Amino acid sequence: MQGAAHPEAATRRDTVRIALTKGRLEKKTLSLLKAAGYDISELEAGSRKLIFALPDTGVEIVLAKAADVITYVEHGVCDMGVVGKDTIMEKGGSFYEMVDLGFGKCRFALATKKGKDVYGGYKTPVIATKYPAVTKAFFNKKNMDVETIKIEGSVELAPLLELADAIVDIVETGTTLKENGLEVIEDVAPISARVIVNLASAKMKKAAIQQVISDLESGLEG
């Protein structure tokens, strides 16, 4: 046993600990839990706290960055997580992806400057992205060789500054592309919020985890 960094760590706690991706996915998940009768008042009160026990439920909420949600669930220090498919596709890992919650909808797309022929040149196309693994997998499937350049934010700048021939990025409304004279060439993959579950927890805490999932789902239907 390697302490907390072992997947079985999850089974040494009685609580069901849920890691939520801070921001919109957190807010939507909490509103579903509230609708299902969970007392989330401490979270609503607004603070810099990161771990919250929901009264009389045996459920704990942990607030984390998307990639860290996966890390905590993988290592079993959280039993479940709510995270975007974008992060799951980029980071991967060992966990069950149990439910598509259907919110946080957007997509990965390949985009470039209006009218530009990305595949037309003699050179290997250069693709700027925050998601190099997603980008490489997409072009591997096409049997195409591309060079990827990792950008940390506002990836749309890269083709405008002529650093890259195109980008692979998240498109939600399409406004950012439009306002910068870019357009989608091809959709890469749909994205939405997913429930992920630690491998050991899924067996050892099956009933409690299923309860939380059906509580979340009942709010989605309503």
Beta bridge partners of 81: 19, 196
Q: Which is nearer to ligand PRP, 142 or 178 (CB)?
A: 178
The residues near 210 (Cβ < 8 Å, ≥ 6 apart) are none
Total residues binding ligand PRP (CB under 6 A): 12
Site for ligand PRP in 139-168 (CB under 6 A): 153-156
Binding mask 94-133 for ligand PRP (x = CB under 6 A): ----------------------------------------
Contact predicate 31/104, CB 8 Å:
no
Q: Which is nearer to ligand PRP, 176 or 192 (CB)?
A: 176
Q: Which is nearer to ligand PRP, 2 or 173 (CB)?
A: 173
Q: Is 171 in the site for ligand PRP (CB under 6 A)?
A: yes
Out of 40, 174, 200, 213, point to the residue binding ligand PRP (CB under 6 A).
174
Q: Is 17 left (phi over 0), alpha (psi -120 to 50) or beta?
A: beta
* Distance in Å from the first CA to the final CA of the chain: 43
Binding mask 176-205 for ligand PRP (x = CB under 6 A): x-----------------------------
Binding mask 26-65 for ligand PRP (x = CB under 6 A): ----------------------------------------
Q: Which is nearer to ligand PRP, 22 or 34 (CB)?
A: 22
Nearest to 91 by CA among 141, 137, 28: 137
Cα separation of 129 and 152, whole Å? 8
Cα separation of 90 and 9, whole Å? 25
Q: Which is nearer to ligand PRP, 155 or 196 (CB)?
A: 155
Q: Is 169 in the site for ligand PRP (CB under 6 A)?
A: yes
| 209: exposed, middle or buried (Cβ count in 10 Å: 0-12, 13-18, 19+) | buried
Q: Which is nearer to ligand PRP, 41 or 154 (CB)?
A: 154
Smallest distance, ligand PRP to C-beta of residue 140, A: 22
Q: In the complex, which residues of this chain contact ligand PRP (CB under 6 A)?
A: 153-156, 169-176
